[in-house]
Amino acid sequence: MGVIFAKTPKGQDEVASKSGGLTPRVRRVLIMVDGKRSVDDLRGLLQADDLQQNLGLLEEEGFISMAAGSSPAEPATSISAFIDLPATPDPIRLQQARNFMGNTLKAFVGALGTSSLLERIENAETHADLRRYYDEWYLAIVTSREGRREAESLRSKLLAVI
């Protein structure tokens, strides 16, 4: 079935009153959340490169929550939750994640504007360290013109190793 979000009372109030200060793009996502459509359905309807980020923002701010009929196994891959890591650290996967984050930032955003983030990623010693930089990485990707087009694909690839 997939992950399904529903509006909370706060989300319903926001649709009715426009008092939450949401951007038009985020508000459009909120309006489309109906407790029946899965994230994949929303992705097809909205064709927004930043859908994951917008859903995450709406969930964090309390405008939406996962619906009761939603598949509990899906959030790990559908939104932004990370996969379970093996009991023993895997240095190869850690290096793959570091390389992927660094290379995508350089390719889509450029090294100059992300030098601080690139340095922190390169110095990350654990997956937990890299996971702390995930949101910043994703924001940098979706705010670049070229990265916005590839954001969902890049996000999925990174979540497979991070």
Please indicate, yes or no, whether the overall pTM of this predicted structure exceeds 0.75.
no
- Write down the pLDDT at residue 155: 83
Q: For the chain, which residues score pLDDT lower than 70?
A: 1-2, 48-49, 68-81
pLDDT tens sequence across 23-39: 888 999 999 999 998 88
Q: Are 66 and 4 in contact (CB under 8 A)?
A: yes
Q: How far apart are CA 26 and CA 54, in angstroms?
A: 6
Mean of the per-residue pLDDT values of the chain: 83
